[in-house]
Amino acid sequence: MKKKLLAVILAAFLAVSLAACGGDSGGSGDSGSKETEKAEKAEETQGGTQAASDTAADPGNAGGTIKLGVLFPYTGSAAAVAEDAQKGIEFAVDEVNSRGGIKSMGGAQIELIYGDTQSNEEAAASEAERLISHEGVSAILGCYQSTVTLSVQNICEKYHVPLAITCSTGDALTEGPHPYSVTIHEQNMDTTKSHAQFISDMNAKEPGAIKTAAILRQNDDWGQALGDGWQEELAALDIEIVVDEVFAMDVTDLTTVVTKLVDKNPDVVLNACYFQSMSLLTQTMAGVGYEPKAMLCSSSGETDNDFIPTVGNNADGFFTVSGWGEDVLASMPDKAWIGEEYIERNNGEHYTAESAAGWAAAMVICESLEAAGSDDAEAINTAMRALEIPEDSWWNIYPYPISFNQETGKNENAIPVMGQFQDTKIKLIYPESIAVEGTELVFPGYELSPVYKNR
């Protein structure tokens, strides 16, 4: 009897699931027919049959709602990053909506539709299909892991829907022609170049300070790309790599790696670690009392909001190359309100590089909508590629202008900034042009570390 009841409940749930999945497409009134129309338009576009006139600006959605797709890994170990990026996107959209929406479209409001990539390509592709064919979004923002973003980039190119790449730094995303996607912040090659420039500058200040290096990285595409870049750059600087270690994303013990570091004692440690391994590495290093002259991180685990609460002062002295840091706002007094309001909205949580990437990507799409005056994907894409956002634009929180290479979609103005953990806060110190007044680089970094202080 029990089994019968459960079978009925299960069957009912499945029926509801399937009905709910389908429910949206048959939505009532305008929105339902509009979605169908958009899906049809997208399918026509793929077949290359769309007439040129379709791409002309059509303010038909005046005063209505424009749907944007947001694709991030909301489940799994990368969920914290997704949450930060989402907060940035929501903040930007609320800001645009509260300022009267998209004015060229009669004040149309932006609505965000979410999709979970689950950190895998298959789910990401499926969600991108859903957002485009079923929800009828005009553009997509996302997706963090570069290989996942690549599969979404493929889908967007097939449907001719613009993609504002957010928090993905894989170089493959901007190699070759990518007519329907843009990157706003730095890519991996910019990060490795920035590290190399930093090492070179430090050697110029203190000749011979950095002669040996260690590379520690995750065994995924991001870690591999950074590892390859570092090897190339360090070889050019004639710096010997004495440790080159790769570990799994879910590594639970880094004692062997740290023992190797202690043994070889490299001058600089370059690392590409997500939150879990970054925290583990920091704590293990502090545990054995090891600190290199400079610990160069790559804007991942160490910029997570939970990193400092986890490791406390143990990260003091570490350097982080980042697409953005909260101090950037300190060098832009007229935009300080953006950081303040973000903290207020998010119960005291601070802006991260991911939130900044989300904010900027959403703003780029909104600017494109404004310029296109239409929610047609082709028109938005054309407008997006022609954007020229100056450094002093009211919303541009990056220390560089935003414009895109017409072939690859890369923002070639993007430069990573470099910060140093000083008393549990990231202080931007490099390049010197963005350093906040009164902030100084403490080099070698270990002078800040608790281990050094206790000597």
Partner 1 sequence: MKRLEKKTLIKAAVFVALAAALVIVSQFLNNYYLQIVIYIFMFAYFASSWNILSGFAGQFSLGHAIFIGIGAYTSTILYTQFGISPWLGMLAGGVLAAGLGILIGLPCFKLQSTYFTLVTIALANIMLLVVQSVRSIGSIQINAAKGIMIPSVEGNNLAVMQFVDKKYYLYIICGLLAVCLAVCQWIKTSKMGYQLAAVANNQEAAESLCVNSRRLKLKAMAISAFMCAVGGSFYAQLIMVCNPARLFAEALSDKLAIVAMLGGKGLVFGPLSGALIVESISQFATAKFANIQGLNLAIYGIMLIVCIRFFPDGILPIIQKYVRKLFKKKERASK
Residues 400-419 that bind partner 1 (CB under 8 A): none
Task: Point out which span in 244-252, 261-269, 389-397, 412-420 binds partner 1 (CB under 8 A).
Answer: 244-252
> 183 pairs with which residues across the strands?
165, 410
> 428 pairs with which residues across the strands?
419
Residues 341-400 that bind partner 1 (CB under 8 A): none
The two three-digit tokens of residue 33, written as one number = 């027919």
> Other CB atoms closer than 10 Å to residue 256's CB: what's the count?
11
The two three-digit tokens of residue 176, written as one number = 């070759």
Kindly state whether residue 158 participates in binding partner 1, applying the rule CB under 8 A.
yes
From candidates 93, 141, 156, 225, binder to partner 1 by CB under 8 A: 225
Kindly state whether residue 47 participates in binding partner 1, applying the rule CB under 8 A.
yes
> 141 pairs with which residues across the strands?
70, 164
From candidates 50, 104, 154, 212, binder to partner 1 by CB under 8 A: 154
From candidates 74, 290, 395, 452, binder to partner 1 by CB under 8 A: 74
- Please tell me the count of residues contacting partner 1 according to CB under 8 A: 57
Q: Which is nearer to partner 1, 227 or 419 (CB)?
A: 227
**Under 8 Å CB-to-CB from 423, ≥6 apart: which residues?**
313, 316, 448
**Under 8 Å CB-to-CB from 344, ≥6 apart: which residues?**
none
Q: Least distance in Å: CB of 125 to partner 1?
A: 5
Kindly state whether residue 127 participates in binding partner 1, applying the rule CB under 8 A.
yes
The per-residue DSSP string of 325-371 comes to -THHHHT-GGGHHHHHHHHHHTTTPPP-HHHHHHHHHHHHHHHHHHH
Give, for 218, the enclosing helix (H) or strand (E).
strand 212-218
Tell the residue number behind the tokens 């997208």, with chain if given: 42
Task: Point out which span in 71-79, 91-99, 337-345, 362-370 binds partner 1 (CB under 8 A).
Answer: 71-79
Q: Least distance in Å: CB of 278 to partner 1?
A: 18
- In this structure, what is the dihedral angle of CA atoms 343, 348, 354, 355, given to the nearest 10 degrees? -30
Q: Which residues bind partner 1 (CB under 8 A)?
A: 2-3, 6-7, 10, 13-14, 17-18, 20-22, 25, 39, 43, 46-48, 70, 74-75, 79, 82-83, 86, 114-116, 118, 120-123, 125-127, 129-130, 132-134, 147, 150-151, 154, 157-158, 172, 219-221, 223-225, 246, 248-249
